[in-house]
Structure 1
Amino acid sequence: MFVLVTGVIAGCAAETPKAPAAPMIVQPGAPGNPGQTLAATALPTVADALYMASDVLFMQGMIPHHA
């Protein structure tokens, strides 16, 4: 019993925690064109993109449409 418990504890101690995956940002392409994956460092420029009230209404309408 002692050897089994020691082996289990040693096995658990040997595991190293995995680093969290870097966030992946996918920017959709125009209709018919593929999207592109952006680096996490591009987030500030993507987050600062301008949008209008009509963009918000369109996206709100797409939620039930795709549901």
Structure 2
Amino acid sequence: MKIHTIVDPLPLREKAYMDSGDQLDAIFKGFLSLQEKGFELPAETVEWIEHCKAVKCRHPKDKDTK
């Protein structure tokens, strides 16, 4: 008789993924790069990029912060 253990993958994935803020920052940088290279992005994405830029401007990281 074999015993099968069911493992919930969600907690394992939560621990394995990078912080959600870091994920959003990577997505932001990707879209910003596309925009700077002249790719036409949906209006909602352009608005989101501008929003992120404004937040980063209002709340800049310290030079010692990664």
Q: TM-score, normalised by structure 2?
A: 0.28
Q: TM-score, normalised by structure 1?
A: 0.28
Give the structure with the higher percent helix. 2
Bigger radius of gyration: 1
Give the structure with the higher percent strand. 1
Greater RCO (CA < 8 Å, at least 6 residues apart): 2
